[in-house]
Amino acid sequence: MAGSLNKVMIIGNVGRDPEMRYTQSGAPVTSFSVAASRRWTTPEGEQREETEWFNVVTWNKLAETANRYVAKGSKVYIEGRLQTRSWEGQDGQKRYRTEVVANSLIMLDSRQKSAGGTDEVFVPEDIEPEEIPF
């Protein structure tokens, strides 16, 4: 089998409000964290829970949408790929950070909005369908 696959799907709660900034070329990028938990019962019958934190990065239109609609505590579905960056810290040590680069974001809270990357189209509730230019 030729090729490879790098795909991540996460459902969880946003851990901090999004932070949007712009690259030198003017592209918007928004980052935030998402917590996903799993629960299980030990062989002794004890309930356990473990939470994994994911750093999420969105780009361009999806970054603008995430900055506008995502908030701490929101339940979201994120789809994207994993990417690890490295840099040298101020102390001279090499640092690494693995992030989910999102290409799709769906809000799972009661308002049920979806924010579009390459796969999803975001339609705010206050826009009439005939106003959509496609």
pLDDT digits (tens, 9 = 90+) for 38-66: 999 999 999 999 999 999 999 999 999 99
Q: Which domains does the chain have, with CATH numbers?
A: 8-131 (2.40.50.140)
Burial classification of residue 13, based on how many CB atoms lie within 10 Å of its CB (0-12 exposed, 13-18 middle, 19 or more buried): middle
Q: Say if CB 125 and CB 109 are below 8 A apart.
A: no
- Residue that is written with structure tokens 């101020």 in the block: 90
- Please state, in angstroms and rounded to a whole number, the distance separating the CA atoms of residues 78 and 108: 10
pLDDT score at 109? 83
Sign of CA dihedral 55, 57, 62, 66: positive
Share of the chain above pLDDT 70, in %: 81
Q: Count CA within 13 A, CB hemisphere, residue 38.
A: 6
pTM listed for this prediction: 0.76
pLDDT digits (tens, 9 = 90+) for 106-118: 999 865 444 444 4
